[in-house]
């Protein structure tokens, strides 16, 4: 019998063509990255300082992505649902920051109290985004809880477009430029690296927010309720957790993070418009998946990774491969990362923090 | 050699051994009942046989061919069809379509023939066969029911439709997962007879998971009892019903000691 | 609660049992709806819709902007005054003062909210934030001369309109439907004045046009009354025998259904053939645009509606079709210009689309639902970014695109006017509608549906899921590429910016609103959602706003779409539901005994 077992070759490869195709993509991708980076670095086209700048830019960009990604990941953790409209929540935070700073700049308060003004803008942006996120959940998502997954997802796409074009209609479709903040001009030398001030502000704020979030989730009663609902909503309800309120709170906290990110993003780029939530939203989702969706530290790791990949990738890989005007393909690079991650490691770097249910 | 042979089959979920070194065989034309308390690994066994779950080790041999590692659709093509414990039909497809789908692997016409209308004859055959299969259940699933969606059927009719769907794939072995769950006594009786008819009229080999001991007694040639993924008894209904380990598995050690 | 009192369905409810008092219209709900209604009214004013459409006359000089504003309390008043659904064992709620009250509350709150907004907008300048809140808007809203009077008028007017909305429930059902239908027709005639004018002119019925419409635009009072009367009478006359083609066909004996269907189909095609001369250049062009979207929608309907694969990057295949056509036919193609004819390039288009379908399909085979949607979205964006990049400029011309795509020639005739291109698009549409139906009732069609319903079971029932999914992507891609090819020749050039995500979303909105997996629904959806905004150019700005709202609304209230596919319309068979419930209790007892 034992011999018979050995003679019957066990078929584990289910569809060799498909799998070998995917392996081919994998190998080509790795070869392209290695070859491109090697050519770029050995050519010495960029100086060390330029590379360091790209890294700092990547980290600051990545911390913004991480903040947005937290919203995706927390909502996914409790509802297994991709809140496609989260990018718009982020955009509204930036929009609010614009109106606040613009209003303050007309009064002179902006010049006399620059740091306080920025803080006000941050708080206002977070407040508006929180309200929008909670309202969205209440109006559009809550009635659909328990429906097949695609139904709330399509609703979220609808909400995303509605929010975009409502913002465009109400506040105008032009680019809105934030006033100049003189305190943020120039740069700081930090551990031997030259860092532009806005980016430093972004990184510090993001770190503070994430530490705050960590304490909220791990050390408070509300955080315990969130984790319980994420684990098993039904049991949590039986244990006396108010599931509706907890889910609202998850949306609220995610919205607050996105609002802060929106304000920081507007600060770095100096402008915001009704459409500026879409691309960062998708990228932050990529970051969430990259780190392992449903996993809070994963969102942070994923955000930073994506920020770095996106900032270094085009110059490092694409230019090395001889692609002209590689910066144009920055977004494409991010989307490519998204596709590759979902194909080859859908559970992300740190792994999904949920039992994969049978769909 | 037996039609279906399972040798040293194991599968664990995160340390819990759902199926543990199981050996089992089913002869052609037999009706074998698999019994055991909840969580004994009965449904896992079905999922392993039909390829819905990958095995950890061991082999499943159908007619001298190891089917471990094949895709579920290939296993169905080799002749093992099944029903599900929690009836899984295609809810928004009609009754007839549900049965027509099951003939997928026995028919050929692809997209291009469908566009060129070269599939007419085959379609007609598929349709006819589906309706004949449904007629096996008497008047319950025919006539106006053909065009009703599966979701609009009663619970018992859904179970029947699921069996019809399995039948339409021309199987050699049919795996029935708790076919009488949720049925009233009359329907249970009817199902017991139906399982017998499936063998007599259709010459299927049948493996059935069942909790209702009257059904088990009524249909089985042989009964296999599982507990914690291991086989604890194998024999006729009488033998297994009086086996100490089976009674212990169902009632607990203390009950046996008291008895 | 109430449901436990429900007798076993299928039996007649016992007559002797006391009925519980009727469930009444909830006035607290009316307050909530009123606040939402107020928010909607303010949104309409602040978003600029009111101003934009103030001059679009519909009936007797009444502007569309005001009509929309009035419709808000009317419709929501009607909704608020709707009695809760009747449950067996309860008395039926009698329509009466409570309906009026609910409508009135909603209307009054709407007016009050709008009034508050007017008060704020009138006293401080909020224009730096809300760009559309111009002095002109304030002036338009200040109907009574001064702000306080206007606020009062709004409150009273809102209440009156709301009561009117509530009062609609007092009208017997027999009259309500004709009333609603006739009002909608009046609106349609008023809005589509230009189209109607063109049709009347080209069918030799100019006098009808002069009679119905007035000089300043919109229906005249008499015209409006006539349209209303005609359609009201039609609805009343037909209320017992609705004009349903499918009901007619189903009523025929089996052997005559097929010829009847063919005859009806031929009649429809014949009607479609005579449209271009009637519609002239402009409206035929719009039909063409709608037709191209319809081609895509029918393709996406196979991918999403039948196979259940939510593809958000569908525009990629449209782009593949358009760019392949452009490169193969245009003399202006940068790198490689074989200058083929449209027909000679078509095989290349199909091939390119099929390859693209496989390239997108293979990586996403193992993904489910929302992940698949996001990855396909990524593919769509990647396509657009690549064709727009300087890197690919030697082939696709980067932002300048590819120009000089020749018109389609057929039997040596150059089809350079939209009226001629129309027939090509129509031919493609007939082909694609045919393909849709042929596939729906085929072995592969059933496999797709099975995958949509339950992928695991589909695999267990012998379906090769990999092959079936790839075929869905290939067919979808080819159909979209037809759309792209026709689009390229219609416009004569292609640019990367045409192929944005919004195209995918538009097509998705079309099929979801029309009815997933329903070919008639998809046809109506593209005519209304793509054609109408092109006719009512003023709507262009609000198009995507409406799309977004529509998606949310459909998912919340009518996920099966407006013309659902036939199988989804079936309701549960009452008798069996009763049996089902009984069985479930049996099962519970069974499992309780077992445990």
Coil, strand, or helix at residue A177? strand
Interface test with C, best of A169, A347, A352 (most C CBs within 10 A): A169
pLDDT over threshold 90, residue C351: yes
Closest in A5, A14, A15 to B59, CB measured: A5
Q: Is the pLDDT of residue A358 over 60?
A: no
Task: Please give the pLDDT value at position A351.
Answer: 65
3-state DSSP call for residue C159? helix
Contact C51, C136 (CB under 8 A): yes
**Nearest beta carbon to residue B52 from set C453, C456, C572:** C456
| Average confidence score pLDDT of chain C | 82
Under DSSP, the state recorded for A298 is H
Nearest to C529 by CA among C185, C545, C180, C518: C545
Residue A321: the pLDDT is 74
- Percent of chain A scoring above 70 in pLDDT: 91
Interface test with A, best of B10, B62, B69, B151 (most A CBs within 10 A): B69
Q: Is the pLDDT of residue C570 over 80?
A: no
pLDDT tens for C289-321 read: 999 999 999 999 999 989 989 898 899 999 999
* Of A333, B144, B36, A347, nearest in space to C366 by CA: A347
Question: In a mutagenesis test of the B interface, which of C302, C303, C365, C460 is the best target, namely the one with the most B β-carbons within 10 Å?
Answer: C460
Given pLDDT bands bounded at 50, 70 and 90, which one contains residue A348? low
pLDDT at C85 over 80: no
Range A103-114 average pLDDT:
85
Rounded to a whole number of angstroms, the distance from the CA of C583 to the nearest CA of chain B is 6
**Nearest residue in chain C measured CA to CA from A148:** C369
Identify the residue among B9, B47, B59 best suited for mutation to test binding to A, counting A beta carbons within 10 A and taking the highest: B59
Identity of the residue in B7, B66, B71 whose CB atom sits nearest the CB atom of A10: B66
**Whether the Cβ atoms of residue A84 and residue C548 lie closer than 8 Å to each other:** no
Is residue C346's pLDDT more than 80?
yes
**Subunits close to B (at least 3 CB pairs below 8 A):** A, C
Question: Which two tokens mark B118?
Answer: 């070269």
Q: Quote the minimal CA–CA distance from A223 to chain C in Å.
A: 27
- A16 pLDDT band, cuts 50/70/90, is low
Q: How far is B133 from chain C (nearest CA, A)?
A: 16
Cα–Cα distance, B19 to B49 (Å, whole number): 12
Average pLDDT value over all residues in chain A: 83
Which range has the worst mean pLDDT, A5-14, A222-231, C86-95? A5-14
**Range with the poorest average pLDDT among B70-84, B234-248, C12-26:** C12-26
Report the SS3 class of residue C119.
helix
Q: Outline where DSSP puts E strands in C50-139.
A: 57-59, 62-63
pLDDT attached to residue A336:
85
List, for residues C107-138, the tens digit of each pLDDT value: 999 999 999 998 888 888 888 888 888 888 88
**What are the Cα distances from residue C372, in Å, to A21, A268, C361, C376?**
18, 32, 10, 6
Condensed to tens digits (0 to 9), the pLDDT of residues B117-143 reads 888 888 889 999 999 999 888 888 888
Q: What's the pLDDT at A188?
A: 79
Q: Give the minimum alpha-carbon distance from B185 to chain A in angstroms, rounded to a whole number.
A: 33
ipTM: 0.91
pLDDT at C405: 84
For A191, C70, C283, the CA distances from C217, given in Å and listed in that order, are: 72, 20, 19
| Dist. CA A332–CA C45, nearest whole Å | 39
Contact A12 B69 (CB under 8 A): yes
Of the pLDDT bands very low, low, confident and very high (cuts 50, 70, 90), residue A252 is very high
Which residues of chain A are within 8 Å of residue C529 when distances are taken between CB atoms?
none
Residue of C nearest to A155 (CA): C552
Decide if B107 and C443 are in contact by the 8 Å CB cutoff. yes
Give buried/exposed letters for B128-143 (b at 16+ CB in 10 A, else e).
Answer: ebbbebbebbeebbbe
Indicate if the pLDDT at residue C142 is higher than 80: yes
Identify which of B89, B114, B169 has the shortest CB distance to residue C443.
Answer: B114
Between CA C316 and CA C305 the distance in angstroms is 19
In chain B, DSSP assigns E strands to 4-13, 16-26, 31-35, 57-62, 65-66, 80-82, 173-177, 205-209, 222-227, 230-235
Alpha-carbon distance of C354 to C472, in angstroms, equals 10
Residues in chain B closer than 8 A to C471 (CB atoms): 110-111
Task: Work out the mean pLDDT of chain B and round it to a whole number.
Answer: 88
**How far is the alpha carbon of A19 from chain B, nearest alpha carbon, in Å?**
14
Name which residue leads in pLDDT, A3 or A210: A210
Nearest CA distance, A165 vs chain C (angstrom):
5
At C4, is the pLDDT very low, low, confident or very high (cuts 50, 70, 90)? very low
Question: pLDDT per residue over B138-179, tens digit each?
Answer: 888 888 888 888 888 888 889 999 999 999 999 999 999 999
CB C398 within 8 A of CB C484: no
Q: What is the pLDDT of residue C402?
A: 84
Q: Is the pLDDT of residue C579 over 60?
A: no
Look up tokens 């693209």; give the residue: C356
Q: Which residues does chain C have within 8 Å of residue B172's beta carbon, measured at their own beta carbons?
A: none
* Stretch among A144-153, C432-441, C583-592 having the lowest mean pLDDT: C583-592
pLDDT, greater one: C334 or C511: C511
Backbone phi, then psi, for C368, in 5-degree steps? -115, 150
DSSP code for C91: P
What's the rounded Cα separation, in Å, for the pair A64 and A33?
Answer: 25
Count the Cβ atoms, other than its own, within 10 Å of residue A233: 17
pLDDT at position C587? 54
Is a pLDDT exceeding 90 seen at residue A32? Answer: no
Q: Is the pLDDT of residue C476 over 90?
A: yes
State the pTM of this model.
Answer: 0.86
């Amino acid at each position: 019998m034992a011999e018979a077992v050995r003679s019957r070759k066990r078929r584990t490869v289910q569809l060799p063509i498909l799998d070998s195709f995917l392996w081919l993509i994998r190998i080509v991708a790795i070869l392209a990255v290695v070859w491109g980076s090697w050519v770029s670095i050995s050519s010495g086209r960029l100086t060390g300082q330029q590379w360091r700048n790209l890294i700092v830019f990547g980290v600051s960009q990545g911390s913004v992505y991480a903040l947005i990604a937290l919203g995706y990941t927390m909502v996914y953790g409790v509802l297994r649902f991709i809140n496609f409209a989260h990018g718009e929540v982020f955009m509204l935070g930036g929009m609010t920051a614009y109106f606040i700073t613009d209003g303050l700049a007309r009064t002179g308060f902006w010049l006399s109290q620059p740091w306080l003004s920025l803080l006000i803008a941050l708080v206002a942006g977070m407040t508006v985004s929180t309200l929008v996120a909670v309202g969205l959940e209440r109006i559009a998502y809550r009635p659909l809880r328990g429906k097949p997954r695609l139904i709330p997802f399509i609703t979220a796409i609808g909400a995303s477009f509605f929010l975009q074009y409502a913002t465009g209609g109400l506040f105008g479709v032009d680019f809105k430029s934030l006033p100049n903040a003189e305190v943020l001009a120039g740069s700081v030398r930090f551990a031997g690296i030259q860092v532009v001030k806005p980016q430093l502000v972004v990184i510090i704020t993001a770190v503070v927010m994430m530490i705050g979030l960590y304490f909220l989730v791990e050390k408070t009663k509300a955080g315990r309720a969130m984790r319980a609902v994420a684990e098993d909503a039904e049991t949590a309800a039986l244990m006396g957790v108010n599931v509706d309120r907890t889910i609202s709170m998850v949306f609220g906290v995610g919205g607050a993070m996105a609002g802060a990110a929106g304000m920081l993003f507007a600060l770095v780029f100096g402008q915001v418009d009704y459409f500026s939530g879409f691309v960062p939203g998708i990228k932050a989702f990529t970051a969430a998946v990259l780190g392992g969706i449903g996993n809070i530290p994963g969102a942070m790791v994923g955000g930073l990774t994506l920020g770095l990949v996106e900032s270094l990738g085009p110059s490092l890989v694409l230019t090395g491969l001889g692609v002209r005007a590689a910066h144009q393909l920055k977004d494409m690079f991010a989307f490519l990362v998204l596709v590759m991650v979902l194909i080859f490691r859908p559970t992300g770097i740190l792994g999904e923090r949920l039992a994969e249910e049978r769909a | 050699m037996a039609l279906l042979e399972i040798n040293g089959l194991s599968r664990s979920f995160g340390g819990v051994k759902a199926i543990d070194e199981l050996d089992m065989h089913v002869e052609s034309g037999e009706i074998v009942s698999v019994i055991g308390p909840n969580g004994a690994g009965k449904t896992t066994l079905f999922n392993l046989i039909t390829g819905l779950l990958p095995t950890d080790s061991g082999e499943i041999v159908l007619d001298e061919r190891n089917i471990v590692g094949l895709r579920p659709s290939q296993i169905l093509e080799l002749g093992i069809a099944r029903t599900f414990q929690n009836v899984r039909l295609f809810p928004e497809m009609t009754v007839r379509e549900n049965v027509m789908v099951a003939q997928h692997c026995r028919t050929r016409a692809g997209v291009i023939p469908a566009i060129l209308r070269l599939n007419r004859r085959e379609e007609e055959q598929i349709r006819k066969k589906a309706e004949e299969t449904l007629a096996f259940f008497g008047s319950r699933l025919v006539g106006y029911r053909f065009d009703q969606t599966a979701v609009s059927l009663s619970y018992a009719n859904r179970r029947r439709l699921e069996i019809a769907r399995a039948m339409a794939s021309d199987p050699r072995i049919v795996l029935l997962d708790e076919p009488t769950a949720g049925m009233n006594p009359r329907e249970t009786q009817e199902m017991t007879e139906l399982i017998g008819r499936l063998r007599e009229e259709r010459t299927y080999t049948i493996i059935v998971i069942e909790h209702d001991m009257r059904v088990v007694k009524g249909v089985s040639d042989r009964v296999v009892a599982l507990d914690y993924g291991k086989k604890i008894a194998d024999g006729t209904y009488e033998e297994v019903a009086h086996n100490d380990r089976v009674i212990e598995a169902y009632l607990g050690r203390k009950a046996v000691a008291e008895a | 609660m109430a449901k436990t009192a429900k007798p076993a369905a299928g039996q007649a409810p016992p007559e002797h049992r006391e009925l519980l008092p009727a469930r009444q219209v909830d006035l607290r709900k009316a307050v909530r709806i009123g606040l939402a209604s107020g928010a909607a009214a303010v949104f309409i004013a602040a978003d600029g819709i009111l101003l934009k459409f103030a001059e679009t006359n519909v009936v007797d000089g009444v502007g569309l902007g005001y009509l929309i504003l009035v419709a808000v309390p009317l419709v929501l008043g009607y909704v608020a005054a709707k009695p809760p659904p009747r449950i067996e064992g309860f008395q039926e709620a009698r329509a009466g003062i409570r309906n009026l009250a609910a409508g009135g509350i909603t209307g009054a709150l709407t007016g009050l909210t709008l009034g508050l907004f007017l008060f704020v907008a009138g006293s401080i300048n909020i224009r730096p934030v809300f760009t559309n809140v111009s002095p002109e808007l304030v002036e338009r809203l200040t109907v009574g001369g001064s702000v306080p009077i206007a606020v009062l008028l709004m409150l009273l007017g809102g209440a009156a309109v709301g009561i009117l909305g509530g009062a609609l429930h007092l009208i017997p059902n027999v009259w309500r439907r004709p009333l609603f239908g006739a009002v909608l027709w009046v609106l349609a005639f008023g809005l589509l004045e230009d189209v109607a004018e063109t049709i009347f002119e080209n069918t030799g019925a100019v006098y009808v046009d002069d009679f119905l419409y007035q000089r300043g635009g919109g229906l005249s009072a008499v015209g409006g009354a006539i349209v209303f009367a005609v359609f009201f009478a039609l609805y009343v006359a037909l209320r017992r025998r609705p004009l349903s083609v499918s009901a007619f066909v189903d009523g025929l004996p089996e052997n005559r259904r097929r010829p009847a269907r063919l005859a009806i189909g031929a009649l429809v095609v014949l009607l479609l053939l005579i449209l271009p001369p009637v519609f002239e250049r402009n409206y035929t062009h719009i039909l063409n645009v709608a037709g191209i979207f319809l081609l895509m929608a029918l393709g996406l309907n196979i991918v999403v509606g039948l196979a259940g694969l939510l593809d958000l990057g569908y525009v990629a295949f449209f782009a593949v079709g358009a760019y392949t056509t452009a490169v193969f036919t245009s003399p202006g193609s940068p790198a490689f210009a074989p200058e083929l004819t449209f027909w000679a390039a078509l095989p290349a288009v199909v091939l390119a689309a099929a390859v693209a379908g496989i390239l997108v399909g293979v990586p996403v085979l193992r993904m489910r639902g929302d992940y698949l949607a996001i990855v396909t979205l990524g593919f769509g964006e990647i396509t657009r970014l690549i064709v727009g990049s300087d890197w690919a400029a030697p082939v696709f011309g980067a932002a300048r695109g590819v120009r000089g795509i020749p018109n389609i020639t057929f039997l040596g005739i150059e089809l350079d006017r939209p009226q001629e291109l129309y027939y090509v698009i129509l031919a493609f549409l007939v082909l694609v509608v045919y393909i849709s139906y042929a596939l729906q009732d085929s072995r592969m069609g059933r496999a797709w549906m099975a995958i949509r319903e339950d992928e695991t079971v589909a695999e267990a029932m012998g379906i090769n899921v990999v092959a079936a999914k790839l075929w869905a992507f290939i067919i979808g891609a080819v159909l979209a590429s037809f759309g792209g090819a026709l689009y390229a020749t219609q416009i004569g050039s292609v640019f990367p910016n045409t192929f944005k995500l919004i195209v995918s979303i538009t097509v998705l909105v079309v099929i979801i609103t029309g009815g997933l997996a329903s070919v008639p629904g998809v046809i109506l959806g593209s005519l209304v959602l793509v054609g109408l905004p092109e006719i009512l150019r003023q709507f262009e700005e609000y198009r995507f706003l409406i799309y977004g709202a529509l998606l949310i609304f459909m998912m919340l209230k009518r996920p099966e779409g407006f013309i659902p596919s036939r199988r989804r319309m079936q309701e549960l068979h009452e008798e069996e539901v009763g049996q089902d419930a009984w069985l479930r209790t049996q099962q519970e007892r069974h499992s309780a005994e077992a445990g």
